Amino acid sequence: MSQVLTSPPSALRNDALSSVRTRRIFALLLDLVLVSILAAALWTVLLIVTFGLSWFFVPPLFPLVAFFYNGLTVSGAKMATPGMRAMNLEMRVHDTGARVPFINAAAHALFFYLTWFMPLLFVVSLLDGEKRCLHDILSGVIVVRRL
């Protein structure tokens, strides 16, 4: 069980940020697969339940599923998406190190997917000393290795 981080991120242990970028990329790939499966399953169920009418009325489900997937899993007890857990990562509030509230976790997902429209913004992670991406900074979170 991971202990609660009570000190500010500047006082993180030495290996808390070790290989975080690489691990985040692999976690993202796994999470994209899982969100795609969930969105496809939900779309199929809606298609069957509505006798095909949802084909015309259901908006793209992927962004909606991704929003709640990130919001619910990161704000949950394990403080990480399944992909992040597989890569031994967790997300915390930057200033306090506390568990991330749902609104911050969901905003993080929204900012992340908006960042895909401007890929050069990912360079921020290479310039930031704490390896935070722009969407991390905007939502007030930090991704660290599990304690």
DSSP string, the chain: -PPPP-S-GGG--TTTTTTHHHHHHHHHHHHHHHHHHHHHHHHHHHHHHTTTTHHHHPPPHHHHHHHHHHHHHHSSTT-S-HHHHHTTEEEEETTT-PBPPHHHHHHHHHHHHHHTTSGGGGGHHHH-TT---HHHHHHTEEEEE--
pLDDT one-digit tens code per residue, 25-43: 999 999 999 999 999 999 9
Compute the distance between CA of residue 19 and CA of residue 143 in angstroms, rounded to an integer. Answer: 11
Banded model confidence at residue 7, pLDDT cuts 50, 70, 90? very low
pLDDT one-digit tens code per residue, 80-117: 999 999 999 999 998 888 899 999 999 999 999 888 88
Q: What is the mean pLDDT of the chain?
A: 85
Domain ranges of the chain: 16-145
Quote the pLDDT of residue 13: 61
Quote the pLDDT of residue 34: 96
Residues 42-58 have a mean pLDDT of 84
